[in-house]
Structure formats: structure tokens, C-alpha cells
């Protein structure tokens, strides 16, 4: 049944499981996320491939809420840089959400395969993200979970567009939002501080993404300090006062995005070295016990821009660094976005959502963040850039 015919509030109007299998062939699970399993699906009549997200109702109220929320938000949006909703089926036991299939790779994986990568490439990525986010914000939708893992190339062609995925935490901004939610590495200060927040949290997250994709460690191959226009835009995106933070629409007009201010110097080796420096070694395992593919913090360390450029972020510590501070007056956010059913053998996926601090992964993350915080502080005192 086409998604336009589904009425979420009508509990009696369920689809039969056979309606799904009659129309689609579902392959094996290709990915497991916090709330759902993801399949590659093939439409039987056309042979077209899609992505299918299956949410199990028995997994709890928050899983059901996440599925309903994603359906409602995706039915509202249509933008070239957002994965589009294709079909929805709601049975007595599951929610099936069918989306366009993005056959490209995550941005970081794409960078690894390039021989040449410059600020101009990052500018092109950030521009597309800003255009999609500006569109969402025009509809008063806050994504709340923007991160590198949710930015994917639509296909494997050289000039493929970027698409944003994962809308189960997105929310309509009917007044400021209270519940803290999202991925720790990308949380804005107002979320960490349990303040009311809104659309500016997405701009902070874009600032973190831009920092990751432009910063290169000193002494590494291709190391270079980002040019002043890049520094200035990151600083405005990561302004600690949310009412003074640059909006997505304003950022699109910034010279680093719409002008010729982005450098065309090859920084691929430096960016990859910076990411590897922040990632755990080998398969990016968390504290030796996390799941394969789990990544530690990519947050800017204290004094990350060095002595020049006028950008100051020591007081802009995002969530993970705050968690690692012993005497902080800002409490960590409570988990309003827990993972799915607990299992002794289940490991947190890469870029996992904020989870209770008592978990082993949370403890490992806190330990790493504390170490990074201490090292960054020592480097700042010595006038160095980590």
C-alpha cells in the first residue's frame, strides 16, 4: 500500500505481512542500528533496489515512537540532498520504511579513495548539507543527529550529490525543545547544558563536521592550517550562544561556501592523518571491547586553531570532552534516545547515540575523552596545536 494511504493514528488499519513480501524481495540484514534493522529490498515488478528499515514494535515504546516520527518527517520533505521516502507498511508487529537506495559511500570512505582532496571538496560537501538543512529549517524541522556517518554519496559517479539520512530523531520545532538527544561528539552546548534548544543545534553539528574535514595535524603529510575564511565559518557555526550562531541560510552565503575562498591545495593525507589520530587503531575498536566500526571522539581539542585566526573554542567543549572533565558544572544529558533491546553480545554501532554512562562503551568513551581533554590542555599551555 502506498505510504500516502497510511494513517498512523488508525491502529486498526494494519497491513498484512504478505503485502510487503508480495511487492518486495527483502535481502539479508546489511546493517543494524539503534532502533531498526536495514535491508536491501528489490521491487519485484520493476527490479528497482531500495533501502528498507524494519522497526519491531515489541522493542519498546521509544522504538515505535522513532518509527512513527521518521515516517511523519519524511512524508513532509522533498529535497535533492535528502533520501526520499518511497513506501511505508505498518503491520501488527513491524514498521517497514522503504527509502531511496544510496549506492555511494560515506564521506570519509570516499576521501580515503581519492588521490586529491582539498578545502574546495569539503566546501562542496558542506554546501549541500547546508542547503538541505536550510530547507528543513524552513519547515521548522530540526534533524538533531547530523554527523559524518549520516552523509552519504548518492551514487559512485564522480560528481555524485551528497544525501542526508537517518531522520528518526528529527523533530518539529513547535517551541523550543527540552529533551537532550543525539550523538555525543556532535552535541551543541545548549543540549549538554540541558537548556531549551532548536534549529541552531544542527548548525553546531555542521561546524563539527566541517572541522573534521578541514583540520590537519601539524607535522603530518599535507599539514596546513585552514585558511581564515574556513576558520571564521567554523567559529560562527560553533558559536556557544545559540541565538548568535550563524543560520544555515546565512552560512550558504559565506565566502567559503559561495565564493572562491576555499583552498584548492591537496590536504587529503593531512585530513586522513587527523582522523586516524582521533580514531582508535586497527578496526576503530572502542577501548578494545567495542564493536568493529565504532569510532572515538573526533572533537576539536582545546586551542585547536592555534594562536592565530582569532577563533577561540576552549569554552565550546562539546559533550564528550565535558563528560571527561572531573569538576564541570554542566551535567551530562540523560539518555532520551536509548539503543534497542539490550543484549550481552550486542556492541554499539559506529556513531552510536547517547547512551547511559554506566555502559562499558560509555565508560571507555569517558576515559578516552578525559585523556584527550588532559592532553589538549597540556598542548594549549605549551602553545601547541594537537
- Reading the block at residue 177, the C-alpha cell is 525543545
| 100 closest CA partner among 115, 82, 114 | 82
The per-residue pLDDT for 350 is 40
User: pLDDT tens track of the chain, all 386 residues?
Assistant: 444 444 455 456 899 999 999 999 999 898 888 889 999 999 999 999 999 999 999 999 999 999 999 999 999 999 999 999 999 999 999 999 999 999 998 888 888 788 788 889 999 999 999 999 999 999 999 999 999 889 999 999 888 999 999 999 999 998 889 888 888 989 999 999 999 999 999 999 999 999 988 876 555 555 555 668 899 999 999 999 999 999 999 999 999 999 888 888 888 887 887 677 655 332 333 333 333 344 433 444 333 333 333 333 333 344 333 333 222 333 334 334 433 333 333 333 444 444 333 334 444 444 544 454 444 334 333 332 33
The per-residue pLDDT for 290 is 37
Task: Quote the DSSP letter at residue 88.
Answer: E
Question: What single string gives the DSSP state of each residue in 160-184?
Answer: PPEEE---TT-EE-SS-B-S--S-G
The per-residue pLDDT for 244 is 96
Q: Which CATH superfamily is domain 107-381 in?
A: Transferase(Phosphotransferase) domain 1 (1.10.510.10)
All residues at 6 or more sequence positions from 154 whose CB lies less than 8 Å from its CB, including other chains: 102, 103, 104, 160, 161, 162, 163
The per-residue pLDDT for 13 is 84
| 4 closest CA partner among 67, 80, 88 | 88
**Residue whose entry in the numeric block shows the C-alpha cell 591537496:** 266
**Residues 29, 38 contacting (CB under 8 angstroms):** yes
181 vs 378: CA distance, rounded Å: 31
All residues at 6 or more sequence positions from 272 whose CB lies less than 8 Å from its CB, including other chains: 111, 112
All residues at 6 or more sequence positions from 321 whose CB lies less than 8 Å from its CB, including other chains: 297, 299, 369, 372, 373, 376
Distances (CA, A) of 220 to 211, 302, 369: 17, 19, 22
Question: What single string gives the DSSP state of each residue in 356-369?
Answer: -TTSHHHHHHHHHH
- Reading the block at residue 182, the C-alpha cell is 543525539
The helix (run of H) or strand (run of E) holding residue 95 is strand 94-100
**Residues 81, 163 contacting (CB under 8 angstroms):** yes
Give the predicted TM-score (pTM) of the model. Answer: 0.72
Residue ranges per domain, the chain?
10-100, 107-381
User: What values do phi and psi take at 32, rounded to 5?
Assistant: -115, 125
CATH class of 10-100: alpha beta
The helix (run of H) or strand (run of E) holding residue 335 is none
The per-residue pLDDT for 225 is 59
- Reading the block at residue 175, the C-alpha cell is 517551541
All residues at 6 or more sequence positions from 268 whose CB lies less than 8 Å from its CB, including other chains: 111, 114, 115, 116, 117, 118, 222
Rg of the chain (C-alpha set): 21
The per-residue pLDDT for 219 is 55
Task: Quote the DSSP letter at residue 379.
Answer: H
Under DSSP, is residue 242 helix (H, G, I), strand (E, B) or coil? helix
Number of Cβ within a 10 Å radius of residue 5: 9
All residues at 6 or more sequence positions from 51 whose CB lies less than 8 Å from its CB, including other chains: 38, 39, 40, 41, 83, 98, 99, 100, 101, 102
The per-residue pLDDT for 117 is 83
| 313 closest CA partner among 216, 234, 205 | 234
Task: Quote the DSSP letter at residue 27.
Answer: E
**Residues 131, 55 contacting (CB under 8 angstroms):** no
Amino acid at each position: 500500500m502506498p505510504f500516502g494511504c497510511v494513517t498512523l493514528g488508525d491502529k486498526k488499519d494494519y497491513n498484512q505481512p504478505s503485502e510487503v513480501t508480495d511487492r518486495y524481495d527483502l535481502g539479508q540484514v546489511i546493517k543494524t542500528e539503534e532502533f531498526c534493522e536495514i535491508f536491501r529490498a528489490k521491487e519485484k515488478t520493476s527490479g528497482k533496489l531500495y533501502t528498507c528499515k524494519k522497526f519491531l514494535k515489541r522493542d519498546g515504546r521509544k522504538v515505535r515512537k522513532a518509527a512513527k516520527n521518521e515516517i511523519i518527517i519524511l512524508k513532509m520533505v522533498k529535497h535533492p540532498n535528502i533520501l526520499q521516502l518511497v513506501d511505508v507498511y505498518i503491520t501488527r508487529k513491524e514498521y517497514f520504511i522503504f527509502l531511496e537506495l544510496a549506492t555511494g559511500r560515506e564521506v570519509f570512505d570516499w576521501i580515503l579513495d581519492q588521490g586529491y582532496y582539498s578545502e574546495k571538496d569539503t566546501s562542496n560537501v558542506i554546501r549541500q548539507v547546508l542547503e538541505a538543512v536550510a530547507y528543513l529549517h524552513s519547515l521548522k524541522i530540526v534533524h538533531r543527529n547530523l554527523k559524518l556517518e549520516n552523509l552519504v554519496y548518492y551514487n559512485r559517479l564522480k560528481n555524485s550529490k551528497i544525501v542526508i539520512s537517518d531522520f528518526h530523531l528529527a523533530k518539529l520545532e513547535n517551541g523550543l525543545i527540552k529533551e537532550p538527544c543525539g550523538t555525543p561528539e556532535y552535541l551543541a552546548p545548549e543540549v549538554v547544558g540541558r537548556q531549551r534548544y532548536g534549529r541552531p543545534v544542527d548548525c553546531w553539528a555542521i561546524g563539527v563536521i566541517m572541522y573534521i574535514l578541514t583540520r590537519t595535524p601539524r607535522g603530518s603529510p599535507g599539514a596546513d592550517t585552514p585558511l581564515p575564511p574556513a576558520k571564521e565559518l567554523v567559529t560562527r557555526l560553533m558559536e556557544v550562544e545559540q541565538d548568535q550562531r550563524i543560520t544555515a541560510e546565512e552560512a550558504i552565503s559565506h565566502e567559503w561556501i559561495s565564493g572562491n575562498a576555499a583552498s584548492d591545495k591537496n590536504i587529503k593525507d593531512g585530513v586522513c592523518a587527523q582522523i586516524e589520530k582521533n580514531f582508535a587503531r586497527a578496526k576503530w575498536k572502542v577501548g578494545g571491547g567495542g564493536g568493529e566500526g565504532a569510532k572515538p571522539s573526533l572533537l576539536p581539542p582545546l586551542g585547536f586553531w592555534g594562536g592565530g585566526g582569532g577563533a577561540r573554542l576552549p569554552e565550546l567543549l562539546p559533550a564528550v570532552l565535558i563528560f571527561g572533565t572531573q569538576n564541570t558544572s554542566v551535567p551530562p544529558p540523560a539518555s532520551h534516545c536509548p539503543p534497542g533491546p539490550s543484549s550481552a553480545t550486542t556492541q554499539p554501532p559506529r556513531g552510536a547515540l547517547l547512551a547511559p554512562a554506566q555502559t562499558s562503551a560509555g565508560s571507555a568513551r569517558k576515559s578516552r575523552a578525559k585523556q584527550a581533554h588532559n592532553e589538549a590542555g597540556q598542548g594549549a599551555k605549551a602553545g601547541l596545536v594537537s
